[in-house]
A and B are shown apart, each in its own frame.
Chain A
């Protein structure tokens, strides 16, 4: 296991997440894909902290902050999903186009 392996794994996960975000139309599906992408970013943080950082704890701490911000983002996003479902009875993102009505 080298740093290179970890980074390539993280990039593969990130690319899979990008694919998911771009091809899904269902809002929850997009959120799940975004979670995969954030997970890849976290793998990057930890692997750099483990292999390269002069101060490994500080590097690993950043992934804690990423996790906290992810939790915030999911809370807001799921609240929006619930409101959207209540209003439209559908979670197709194309429905967001008439958000201003």
Chain B
């Protein structure tokens, strides 16, 4: 980073992202398999989101990821998988599984630890929390207070979620009448 000036770095990143977007868009059109083309479309959308981030439109980037990459594409993939038999061998990866998994997780670890180590703000040993910040009474007071500092609505939502989940779990796991 110190070798490159900031403007040059963002230029290089822009060309890289643009190349990835164009490449994956062409791959989307050219892929023989419908499922592969949907997967390439995800990468194209993620590239668009990175571009939004570089233009400092953070909310647009988040919306792009959540709506397109998270919602629309998953919908498309599910539709493809449910209506055809393309999925059976379309996405077979031939690489050794354990090794690739290790490489991915180590790459993640390296990037995150590098950022943490390079941020001097995080090297603090003196806590700001007072003692008893996580005691049962302080939790209960905050969870159940209705004031602006309280968490009573999330508390209610989470209790509803627990109830719905338990009902769902029982519904999924119970034996239907015909089944042995």
Residues of A in contact with B (beta carbons under 8 Å apart):
1-4, 7-8, 11-12, 14-16, 18-23, 46, 49-58, 60-61, 64-65, 68-69, 71-72, 75-76, 78-80, 82-83, 86, 97-98, 100
Known: A3-B122, A8-B113, A50-B127. A15 touches B108 (CB 8 A): yes
> Which A residues are CB-close (under 8 A) to B109?
11-12, 14-15
Known: A52-B124, A83-B173. 12 other contacts (CB 8 A): A4-B117, A4-B122, A11-B108, A22-B97, A22-B100, A54-B128, A56-B130, A56-B134, A57-B133, A72-B162, A75-B165, A86-B179
> Which B residues are CB-close (under 8 A) to A82?
172-173
> Which B residues are CB-close (under 8 A) to A79?
168-170, 172-173
| Contact stretch, chosen from B1-9, B48-56, B63-71, B81-89 | B81-89
The answer to whether A23 and B101 have CB atoms under 8 Å apart is: yes
Bound-state CA distance A52–B170 (Å) is: 41
Residues of B in contact with A (beta carbons under 8 Å apart):
81-82, 87-88, 97-98, 100-102, 104-106, 108-109, 112-113, 116-117, 122-130, 133-134, 138-139, 142-143, 149, 151, 154, 158, 161-162, 165-166, 168-170, 172-173, 175, 179
Bound-state CA distance A76–B173 (Å) is: 9
Question: Interface residues of B: mostly helix, strand, loop or mixed?
Answer: helix
Contact among A7, A49, A54, A71 with B162 in the assembled complex (CB-CB below 8 Å):
A71
The answer to whether B127 and A19 have CB atoms under 8 Å apart is: no
Number of interchain pairs (Cβ within 8 Å): 131
The answer to whether B142 and A78 have CB atoms under 8 Å apart is: no
Question: Interface residues of A: mostly helix, strand, loop or mixed?
Answer: helix
Contact among A7, A22, A23, A83 with B116 in the assembled complex (CB-CB below 8 Å):
A7
The answer to whether A1 and B129 have CB atoms under 8 Å apart is: no
The answer to whether A72 and B116 have CB atoms under 8 Å apart is: no
- Cβ of A8 to closest chain B Cβ, rounded Å: 6
> Which B residues are CB-close (under 8 A) to A2?
122-125
Closest to B130 in A: A56
> Which B residues are CB-close (under 8 A) to A8?
113, 116-117
Known: A57-B142, A76-B168. A16 touches B129 (CB 8 A): no
Bound-state CA distance A52–B169 (Å) is: 38
The answer to whether A19 and B123 have CB atoms under 8 Å apart is: no
The answer to whether B139 and A75 have CB atoms under 8 Å apart is: no
Contact among B108, B123, B161 with A72 in the assembled complex (CB-CB below 8 Å):
B161
Bound-state CA distance A23–B168 (Å) is: 29
The answer to whether A22 and B162 have CB atoms under 8 Å apart is: no
Contact among A20, A50, A98 with B133 in the assembled complex (CB-CB below 8 Å):
A50
